[in-house]
Structure 1
Amino acid sequence: MRLRKKAWARPELESSKFFLTDPETRKDKWHEEFKNDNPIYLELGCGKGNFVSVKGAENKDINYVAIDIKDEVLVLAKRQIEKEFEKVNRKPEENVRLMAKQIAFIEEVFGKDEVDRIYINFCNPWPKKKHNKRRLTHTNFLSKYKTFLKLNGEIWFKTDDDELFRDSQEYLTQKGFDIKYITYDLHESNFTGNVETEHERMFTEMGIKIKCLIAQYNR
């Protein structure tokens, strides 16, 4: 669905202490940005922020960076993050950053070995073969992630789409990742600590099983 432009969204984002207007300037300086040496976890396509808000609030010793492209979506993520952090009496700027950026240019934002984990939750499956290269798990994107993902770093991937899930396993293997965990029915598996996203809830209510894998980068 096409979002209507909201003139107030960008000013509200820019007023936030955890939204970055110039994330490229943090490349090779992310630990300086957070003022600690804690692990950095990156969510690609954070949507309305349910996932990163819960993770960030629950795990104060992990730094989270969440990216999406539309101000109109990111401003909802900002509000959701603030809501979750208020529950635990903490400030989001302690360990969360939001940014607007096309994921195709993500390597402009992070330097070598700066990211410990990448989350990809319910990305566009791009089912037409001519569009496959746009998938966030495609080998083209994996090559970009490898420029900043640490040795033994991980990609955590969830999807409702069977074809995307199958193809993604091939992409990951081709690019030197080992699949350490896989399930074709996440909610009936022994997986613990799952945070349900808005898309995940929608697909589950439709009776669609959620697929999930964890792949480790071994160069």
Structure 2
Amino acid sequence: MRQRNKPWADDFLNEHRDLVIVNPKENKNKWKDIFGNTNPIHLEIGTGKGQFIVGMAKQYPAINFIGIEMAKSITVDAAQKVKESGQENLILLNENANDLEELFAENEISTIYLNFSDPWPKNRHEKRRLSYHTFLAKYEKVLKENSELIMKTDNRLLFEYSLVSFSNYGLKLEEVSLDLHQLDDPTNVMTEYEEKFSSKGQPIYRCQAKFR
């Protein structure tokens, strides 16, 4: 979906540098200093409007959360949610996931979330899928040993593709759910898309995989 341009986005981001970090590549291997503690850092790639990551930050105050979102207009929406929440264990980056290794050092991240990522359905766009093997290599490098990659999507074809990609890369599939909400998991925090699709009866797929 095309996002409406927000002419005031740059001004908002400049005024809220505590929420959306400017020049984040300078903080590589220093994120614990930004948060002011040594708590584990969880990373969401493709934060969208921020409902998931804000909910997780509230639910797990002893974990630090970083959300990456490439679209500036959507980053602003997420930043407004973060501001309203008052959560201090959460920051955002207006960056591209391709630059992950420039943003984080080896073993700096404890968990990565991929929520409702763009499925890029055309074969010629396979390399853009966030579960493609080149992205998995980036995740493995910044994650601590035996860390988890957790994916949720409403797209069955992307989910099936991702399971194969994870397995071929050598990840251990710890949980595979073809209808997440049937599990009635009280710890599940929904994204905006998840609420929308599940309310229409669309099954939500979730996979928890671990790098060995």
Provide TM-score, normalisation by structure 1: 0.92
Map Cα deviations across residues 162-214 of structure 1 (whole Å, 9 max, x no partner). 11111111111222210111110000015331111111112113321000010
Q: Which of 73, 92, 99 pairs up with 2:93?
A: 99
Question: Are the equivalent residues in 1 in contact too, given 2:19–2:83 (CA < 8 A)?
Answer: no
Pairwise CA distance, 1:84: 2.7
Q: 1:119-130 counterparts in 2 under 5 A?
A: 119-130=113-124
Cα RMSD (Å): 1.3
Q: 1:76-155 counterparts in 2 under 5 A?
A: 76-85=77-86, 92=87, 94-155=88-149
Give the equivalent residue in structure 2 for 1:48.
49
Distance 1:29 1:175 in 2: 29
* Secondary structure in 2 matching 1:165: helix
Q: Which of 186, 197, 201 pairs up with 1:203?
A: 197
Give the equivalent residue in structure 1 for 2:2.
2
Equivalent AA in structure 2 for residue 70 of structure 1: A
Equivalent AA in structure 1 for residue 157 of structure 2: E
Equivalent AA in structure 1 for residue 42 of structure 2: Y
Aligned length: 211
Distance 1:190 1:171 in 2: 27
Equivalent AA in structure 2 for residue 77 of structure 1: A
Question: Are the equivalent residues in 2 in contact too, given 1:54–1:84 (CA < 8 A)?
Answer: no
Map Cα deviations across residues 134-159 of structure 1 (whole Å, 9 max, x no partner). 11111111011111011111011001
Pairwise CA distance, 1:14: 2.2
Pairwise CA distance, 1:95: 1.2
Question: Are the equivalent residues in 2 in contact too, given 1:43–1:52 (CA < 8 A)?
Answer: yes
Q: 1:173-184 counterparts in 2 under 5 A?
A: 173-184=167-178
Distance 2:184 2:4 in 1: 41
* Percent identity over paired residues: 36
Distance 1:217 1:190 in 2: 26
Give the equivalent residue in structure 2 for 1:12.
12
Distance 1:47 1:34 in 2: 22
> After TM superposition, what 4+ stretches of structure 1 lie above 6 angstroms from structure 2?
none
Distance 1:13 1:157 in 2: 28
Give the equivalent residue in structure 1 for 2:59.
58
Distance 1:151 1:170 in 2: 21
Pairwise CA distance, 1:112: 0.5
* Structure 1 unaligned regions, length at least 5: 86-91
Map Cα deviations across residues 46-80 of structure 1 (whole Å, 9 max, x no partner). 01000011111222210000010122111111111
